Amino acid sequence: MATVQFGKETSARGEFVRQKNRFTDRITADGSSGWKAEPGRYRLVVCLACPWAHRALIVRGLLGLDDAISLAVVDPVRDERGWRFTLDEGDRDPVLGIEYLSEAYHRADPEFDGRFTVPAIVEVESGRVVTNDYPRITLDLSTQWREFHAPGAPDLYPEHLRAEIDEVIEPIFRNVNNGVYRCGFAGSQEAYEEAYDALFAELDRLSARLEHQRYLVGDQLTEADIRLFTTLVRFDAVYHGHFKCNRNKLTEMPVLWAYARDLFQTPGFGETVDFDHIKRHYYYTHDAINPTRIVPKGPVTDWTEPHGRG
């Protein structure tokens, strides 16, 4: 039997249970899914604090899809109605004309009563959410939107490496991407310690893997690196303290710290990172974990120092 802890669902053992993605339609090159990849038809909604949305933001930029898929950025602090467009004039998204992302969810499903999550891709004309399936969104941007990629755009999900990429990203999701949340929202000591041990065991494995190669799969940047980066870049700022992932800071893990700086300094990565949004979202929104809502000033970290991985 599941219960609600910190506003999140947990299992009977106190394990954090991530909400399933409600909207899983795919946008495809040929439109056979019912949704055809067409420039100007869709709008990507992200929060700069959210690691899942951050993936989509990075991939969209690396592939040169900025003109094909417009971008909306929500306020990092949600209220009881969810993600807000308070960063825009008049507190409304200028393209969709809505104040809350929840409006696009309810246009797709008036009965939807789950959490309104980012990233979400919204069809501009109908104003309805097409997908909030974050693992699939980035893969489809790489494979279904090829016609609109910029010349020279990287192949982030190359066919000959897909089996290995899939194999690598599964434990990264389970133990790292979702693992930090399993630590932070654990409802029991046992569940927390299991998640903590799995997290750092996986980070140790990844460190060993990256000690003698620049990227996670092959000799090129892939989807796997993007998925790991968005957790690593938040690690010291929020996960280490706020989520009790405190065996080591990222800056105390030499291989992963150099790897993360390498990616941060790669065009398309560092400029998408907003530590103000990241810290305000986590420390202010999770008031059951941080009831004072005090946002820490630190850490002071130099992401531009040489990484030595060229």
Catalytic residues: 50, 181
- Helix and strand element counts for the chain (H, E): 10, 7
Instruction: State how far the Cα of 219 lies from the Cα of 54, in Å rounded to an integer.
Output: 23
- The answer to whether the CB of 220 falls within 8 A of the CB of 154 is yes
- The answer to whether the CB of 226 falls within 8 A of the CB of 156 is yes
Q: What is the DSSP string of 63-82?
A: TT-TTTSEEEE--SS-BTTB
Give strand pairing partners of 44. 71, 121
Q: Does the CA dihedral 2-19-25-228 come out positive or negative?
A: negative
Read off φ and ψ for residue 4, nearest 5 degrees.
-105, 125
- The answer to whether the CB of 100 falls within 8 A of the CB of 81 is yes
Instruction: State how far the Cα of 83 lies from the Cα of 178, in Å rounded to an integer.
Output: 21
CA dihedral 206, 140, 49, 76 (to 10 degrees): -160
- The answer to whether the CB of 48 falls within 8 A of the CB of 76 is yes
What DSSP character marks residue 284? H
The SS3 assignment for 245 reads coil
Instruction: State how far the Cα of 291 lies from the Cα of 125, in Å rounded to an integer.
Output: 41
Instruction: State how far the Cα of 90 lies from the Cα of 31, in Å rounded to an integer.
Output: 35
Pick from 67, 95, 91: which is nearest to 79 by CA? 91
The SS3 assignment for 45 reads strand
